Amino acid sequence: MKKIVLLCFFCLLFMFAHAQDKASRIDSLLTAYSNQKVFNGNVLVAENGVVLFKKSYGYADEETQRKLNPETVFELASVSKQFTAMGIVLLQKQGKLSFDDPIKKYVPELSFYEGITIRNLLHHTGGLPDYMELFAEHWDKSKIAVNQDIVTLFATHKPKVLFQPNEKYEYSNTGYALLGLIIEKVSKQSFGDYLKATIFKPLQMNNTQVYRSRYQPEVIPNYANGYVLDEKNNKVKPDTFGKEFYSYYLDGIVGDGMVNSNLDDLLKWDRALYGTQLVNDSDKQLIFSSIKTLDGKNTNYGFGWGISQHIKYGKSVSHTGSWAGYLTAISRFLTDDKTIIILQNNLTQTTKLPIDEIKRILYNESIVDKIENKIALTTKDLDVYLGEYSSPEFPLKVSITKDNITLMAQATGQSAFPLNAIAKDKFEFKRAGILLEFVPSEKKMILNQGGKQFVFTKS
């Protein structure tokens, strides 16, 4: 018996030391990024629901130099979509809607969009064009838009669908904004009140709410202000650019974003998704499953979650978000019950989202940057890439210019940054983890960052 007790003691000691080593490695990584000014935010890492690491780096308020702490509240941006999807699932469980209901049942003004269902919106297979470009062109920017304004603008201008329902997958903020509106119409509550009553309050997520800082400002204690860079590379709040900047006049729209939360509440959310307090196993099978579209490709997207299967990491579900000075992520490795939550209040060309690095530490792998052979190009070689690119999945346009033999990229309202050529038609900005791949014959550019991919077309 003594031998067994002693063996168990040494096993526990080894596990504790191993966990401490992982925590130390994560801290060293993030401290280095913080010192390089490429990381400003909060991180929580858990294994089997036990917090392995939780720490803050940098400021919540640059002007007053108020520091972040682990309880600080952040805008989640597109990480909000998983809550929107859960809201729809809960309404379906109550018998108040069906996933296969056409959206025209709830939004009759859009009845000219035939065949698009709630399920299509959840999986991003509806084909609706991006609402942000429509607002940029037609909206009175002295007003803050709400979800119904999307319907009004679409009904007025009738933009063509990008593809027919189920034909293919394309990430759509429009779809999730419409889901937010459908939640309001069916529940007869505001989007925020409904999520609070059905998700946040039952899970005791007491620091989580739907918050629109320009549309309905209020004082939230311990709140992280979002920051971007101005033309002089100074950190500024997006509102510095005025009311005609997209994050101001689109602030009233919910469903595709606008949930605000902190590390501890998101861990409560993570744990609840392993249990049955909100949904049963059958529901979770739907939520965490990819589907195939008519082109035979997997969406790799369930209900508000990106889906991945890896020979070493097993099944994982994740989502990232970027909006108005915030860069966020939650990654859940379901096979091994590991969780990474990252909340940042800086969104610049150099901001790092170290999901992959932390994942490698959790799985006892080394962190080694991939070294690719850089290739030399002439200034004439770069001409094929030049132009302005836009994507319905991405809120900003990207201009590609050149400075002698260096290709430059610049997003709307941001400063330009240099790109290194690493292969034919492939460029990177390593500090921010950006990889750009060009397809000149199709006038396309593919942006890869933080595990997300966006397809741009040259105008």
The residues annotated as belonging to the active site are 78
**Of 117, 123, 98, the residue nearest 292 (C-alpha):** 123
Give the C-alpha separation, 424 to 137, whole Å.
35
Give the type of residue at 81. K
Distance between first and last Cα of the chain: 75
Place of tokens 């998101």: 266
Strand 387-391 vs strand 338-344: parallel, antiparallel, or unpaired?
Answer: unpaired
φ/ψ of residue 342, rounded to 5: -130, 125
- The 8 Å CB, 24+ separation contacts for 18-27 are 19/47, 19/52, 22/52, 22/53, 22/361, 22/362, 22/364, 23/52, 23/53, 25/361, 25/367, 26/53, 26/358, 26/361, 27/53, 27/55
Tokens of 117: 């269902």
Query: Which amino acid is located at 241 in the chain?
Result: F
Nearest to 330 by CA among 121, 108, 76: 76
Structure-block tokens of residue 422: 């690493």
State whether the Cα torsion 102-106-108-110 is positive or negative.
negative
Q: Provide the CB-side half-sphere exposure for 123 (13 A, CA).
A: 25
Q: Which residues have CB under 8 Å from 207's CB, separation 6+?
A: 71, 73, 261, 262, 264, 265
* Cα(174)–Cα(184) distance, integer angstroms: 16
With CA atoms as reference, report the closest residue to 428 among 369, 381, 384, 388: 369
Over its C-alpha atoms, the chain yields an Rg (Å, rounded) of 22
Question: What span, in angstroms and rounded, lies between the C-alpha atoms of 253 and 395?
Answer: 14
